[in-house]
Chains A and B, each alone.
Chain A
Amino acid sequence: MKRIRNFSIIAHIDHGKSTLSDRLIQATHIVSERDFKDQILDSMDIERERGITIKSQTVCLPFVAKDGQTYFLNLIDTPGHVDFTYEVSRALSSCEGALLIIDASQGVEAQTLANLYLAMEHNLEIIPVINKIDLPSADVDRVKLQIEEDLGLDPEAAILISAKEGIGIEKVLEALVNRMPPPSGDPEAPLQALIFDSHYDSFRGTIIYLRIYQGTVKPGDLIMFMSNKAVYKVEEVGIFQIIRVPRKELSAGEVGYIIAGIKTVSDTRCGDTITLKNRPCDAPVPGFVEAKPVVFSSIYPVASDGYEELAISLEKLKLNDASLIYEKDFSAALGFGFRCGFLGLLHLEVIQERLEREYDLSLILTAPSVQYQVIMNDDSILTIDNPALYPDPVMIQSTKEPFIRASIIIPDRYMGAAMKLCLDRRGINKNYQYLTSNRLEMIFELPLAEVVFDFYDKLKSVTQGYGSFDYEIIDYRETDIVKLDILINGERVDALSQLVHRDRAVDRARHACEKLKEEIPRQMFKIAIQGAIGAKIIARSTISPFRKDVTAKCYGGDITRKRKLLEKQKKGKKRMKMVGKVMIPQSAFLSVLKTDTD
């Protein structure tokens, strides 16, 4: 155990976390050069394509230090986006220390701070690492000053590296050995292991990722989940070295996996503690907080018979993503589906993409909503996140919406642009302070509903990529919410309804009408699209009918082409929903969610 180190790498997005992970993996030779690919820990397609880390991964790196001993360095990779703070928290609770990476030219950013605070909450040993020192724009002295002033860490402890060029990687490995504490815990004590992740393997059942705090587990043991007392027999234990490597046993301080033939997906809960049935520990591992979803949306299968499949897929995905919550839902337009809670809009997109790619489903999502508190005339309070359940306005005394406290760090030349963005989103400026001579931290209080749509993208764009952002929910405040309905040829489409602030309703309605006009195919009759609050129409658009729709020429060479078009249309129709006589494609539902007009 003295030769084990459990650590995470935490950083603001794009500061080089995945590149450093790659170099550490290469330096310890667990993967041959031939099999190596960049961002090796980001195994999901979505992660590679978007260049982000979504899921935590672990890898065990054997390292021969200068003292001649072989150390086992367990790297627990974490996501960087603000939506996935929860994943970071789960990973950190399995570690004794963390490498905090700071980009030598960008300096300390909002998530650098947020992740540092998280790490400190878990009492981790923190080693600052200044990355990208090879860049011409690198300013190491300035970053050291920020480390001292903004982070309150010892700047002289910082390791200077360039992960891209492979500079300083040995120093990082030595620092892990010498400066990070080894785990503690008695391998002879009753088993106490924390589940920090899991995923479903079609051949082996659930693979549980766990950190052993005390005791030992080996194949043949009968394990018990402390939350529900479910008992399974261990088939295999092991560690991760990109692939799963079986071991005879796992004991205190180690990070690895267990396979126990678990088919019941719901039995495995991240944050649960595993112990031995015959010799249980006294108490579960403490201090593991459930993620709280902040954005809600309903998911429906496009195919009318796709509900069962969606249910099974969600259950499996939930195993790999404990932060996802869902319950059954019904829409008059779309049939049976699920109301889901997400950590943020990126999380929502990721879940949608994973369901579509990994489970081959075709989905329709409804407009994301936050959770509103509706105070009724009889003083009862309803929590509403689904427009379909929004009560009749005459029954409502008042409505409250969640507010966040946002920390926005920007170079001061973007102050005007960022300020305008926040004020446009109904933000209240609480404070601002200079972190260094030209870097500014602005504190804004903003309605969460204004942030979940595309605030982060907009902030990035108005600050040319330099702005960073982190937030926490602070309280609920009185607001003026209306339910915006969309009518197609006079018929209300419940799946397109959204709850919006009254001041924003006209803009949103216009946006929805325009988007739907672009996405709904023309028909032989006129299609009227209207946005309405109650009986009042506040926006409209019209899709003019076909006045002709005929291919003039069709001879030998044209027949195949024409048939293929008809086949494509037939296939496309499977991705459409009928509302009255109008066919609405899946893309139309999704286009309404994107706000690119303001």
Chain B
Amino acid sequence: MSRENIETNHFFQPAGLYVHIPFCIRKCPYCDFFSITDRSTIPGFMEALIQEMSMTGVFPFRFDSLYIGGGTPSVLEANQVGRVVETAHRSYRILPGAEITLEANPGTLRFDKLTGFKSAGINRLNIGVQSFRDAHLNFLGRIHTGRDADTAIKDARKAGFDNLGLDLIYGIPGQTKKSWLLDLQQAVDYAPEHLSCYMLTYEFGTPMERGLRKGFFQALPESLAGDLFEATSAFLCSRGYQHYEISNFARSTDFRSRHNMKYWAGVPYIGLGPSAHSFTGMKRSWNCRSVSQYTENLNAGRLPVAGEEVLSRDQEMIEAVYLGLRKADGIAAEAFEKKFGVSFHGLFGEVIADLRKKRMMNATKTRCALTCRGMRFLDGIASRFVQRME
């Protein structure tokens, strides 16, 4: 089967399994993911999660990735994580060699806990470092210090994690290009297999966004934030990393986040836990954003689904373009044409030509992808593509 066929035919691709652990020691003011700080409800939640797994195991998918995210999944004890992984294996067809990731906060890790995670079956650890500078960590409302991050990374290596990812945030008020590159340099010094570098975003409704709106602090100038985006890419590429998605870098193709790639390729995934989203190829559904409702529903034998949408062809096309443009691999024109029955260059040729002229896009007959410069303006560019659709 050709590469394009594999890309378009979801059933040939193993799906992803996501588990949302909605608990945190403290809420970070910039974060808009769903989580609560009352950890007394963890036991009840665990039972509900097991129940949800048993009820959704009927999906006709094979899985080659399990991602335990949050929230802060590392607030769970190793045996609780072990129970999640074990039950997932019992309920779903999880393929041998599957990527099994746990997100971890340096403030919740101890060496014995890390070895416990490793023996629980976690083979990829993603540590939310965000910054090595305490002033930035303080602004971000993190519970850990730069030193805690250093210890956690070293302990993780010692505990045997050979697939390690670090999350960093840049674009923090007061940050300079120099200080950010020092942060990056320190991260690279640990030789992580994966790096996610997120530009700080002020999500509506978060305390940080309110603070910005009320003028309690000034955001980093847009032009500097944009420059940091390009500087990040240049720096990490020079250190041997692939810039394979807007915010994601891998030491080699093998170390790309297998799970996250599914979101951008339109491959199915099942999401468990409150607020988790599932996508089965044409239908997307999402769970309620409440631990108590989630638990109550599952205790009563009901799925905690809060909503769903069946994608129209047009909607699928918008997503294919937007998500495709996020990736360095871009959009495969032939697969796109096969799936939607339209001429890719006929539809977007004008936009593509203009973007090429501006050095924002690389395009061949078969693929079109944004350059780093283009990625900096992804949203506006995606909008231009979408305007061209009938």
The chain A residues found within 8 Å of chain B, CB to CB, are 523-524, 546-557, 559-560, 562-563, 566-567, 569-570, 573
Contact = CB atoms under 8 A, between A and B. Distances in A.
13 contacts: A524-B380, A546-B377, A547-B221, A547-B226, A549-B380, A554-B246, A556-B271, A560-B309, A563-B318, A566-B383, A569-B383, A570-B383, A570-B386
B45 interface: no
A201 to B, nearest CB: 36
B276 interface: yes
A524 B376 CA distance: 11
B201 A551 contact: yes
Interface of B: 18, 33, 198-201, 221-223, 225-226, 229, 246-247, 260, 263-264, 269, 271, 275-279, 284, 286, 309, 315, 318-319, 322-323, 326, 375-380, 382-383, 386-387, 389
Contact of A550 (B223, B319, B379, B389): B379
Contacts of A551: 201, 246, 378-379
Contacts of A554: 246, 263-264, 322-323, 326
Contacts of A523: 380
Pairs of residues from A and B, 3 with the lowest C-beta to C-beta distance, nearest first: A548-B226, A547-B223, A556-B277
Nearest to A551: B379
Contacts of B260: 555
B319 A563 contact: yes
Given A546-B222, A569-B383, A557 B277 contact: yes
A570 B388 CA distance: 9
Given A556-B269, A560-B284, A562-B322, 20 more contacts: A524-B377, A546-B222, A546-B377, A548-B226, A548-B377, A549-B376, A550-B377, A551-B379, A556-B18, A556-B263, A556-B277, A556-B279, A557-B33, A559-B263, A559-B319, A559-B323, A566-B318, A566-B322, A569-B387, A570-B386
A550 B377 CA distance: 5
Contacts of B225: 547-548
B201 A573 contact: no
Contact of B276 (A556, A559, A560, A566): A556
A553 B260 CA distance: 11
Interface core residue of A554, A556, A569 (most chain B CB under 10 Å) = A556
B246 A557 contact: no
Contacts of A556: 18, 263, 269, 271, 276-279
B269 A552 contact: no
A553 B269 contact: no
B322 A552 contact: no
B347 to A, nearest CB: 14
Nearest to B226: A548
Nearest to B383: A569
A128 B222 CA distance: 66
A497 B222 CA distance: 34
Contact of A552 (B199, B223, B387): B199
Contacts of B221: 547
Contact of A563 (B264, B275, B315): B315
Contact of B387 (A548, A560, A570): A570
Contacts of A562: 322
Nearest to A583: B387
B201 A553 contact: yes
A559 B376 CA distance: 18
Nearest to B196: A553
Nearest to B279: A556
A307 to B, nearest CB: 22
A550 B199 contact: yes
Nearest to B314: A567
Nearest to A562: B322
Nearest to B247: A552
Contacts of B382: 566
A573 B383 CA distance: 10
Contacts of A569: 383, 386-387
Contacts of A573: 387
B319 A549 contact: no
Contact of B198 (A549, A553, A570): A553
A553 B199 CA distance: 8
Nearest to A569: B383
A547 B277 contact: no
A553 B263 CA distance: 11
B7 to A, nearest CB: 18
B203 to A, nearest CB: 9
A566 B386 CA distance: 7
A567 B314 CA distance: 10
A547 B228 CA distance: 11
B389 A570 contact: yes
A523 B377 CA distance: 10
A548 B18 CA distance: 31
A234 B322 CA distance: 61
Contacts of B284: 559-560
A278 to B, nearest CB: 58
A570 B276 CA distance: 28
B294 to A, nearest CB: 15
Contact of B263 (A555, A566, A570): A555
A553 B257 CA distance: 14
B286 to A, nearest CB: 7
A525 to B, nearest CB: 10
Contacts of A555: 260, 263
Nearest to A574: B387
Please indicate which of the listed interface residues A547, A551, A563 has the most CB atoms of chain B within 10 Å of its own CB: A563
A547 B201 CA distance: 15
Contact of A548 (B222, B277, B326): B222
Contacts of B223: 547-548
Contacts of A552: 198-201, 246-247
B353 to A, nearest CB: 15
B375 A550 contact: yes
Contacts of B226: 547-548
Nearest to A522: B380
Nearest to B375: A550
A32 B221 CA distance: 64
Contacts of B229: 548, 550
Contacts of A563: 315, 318-319, 322
Contacts of B386: 566-567, 569-570
A567 B201 contact: no
B265 to A, nearest CB: 12
Contact of A549 (B275, B278, B309, B378): B378
A169 B378 CA distance: 68
B102 to A, nearest CB: 16
B282 to A, nearest CB: 13
Contacts of A550: 199, 229, 246, 375-379
B373 to A, nearest CB: 11
A239 B375 CA distance: 68
Nearest to B264: A554
Kindly name the residue among A548, A551, A554, A557 whose own CB sees the greatest number of chain B CB atoms within 10 A. A548
A558 to B, nearest CB: 8
Contacts of A570: 383, 386-387, 389
B286 A557 contact: yes
A410 to B, nearest CB: 40
B276 A557 contact: yes
A438 B18 CA distance: 76
A548 B376 contact: yes
Contacts of B278: 556
Contacts of B263: 554-556, 559
Contacts of A524: 377, 380
A216 B271 CA distance: 77
Contacts of A566: 318, 322, 382-383, 386
Contacts of A548: 199, 222-223, 225-226, 229, 376-377
A551 B284 CA distance: 21
Contacts of B198: 552-553
A563 to B, nearest CB: 5
A423 B247 CA distance: 61
A351 B226 CA distance: 46
Nearest to A554: B326
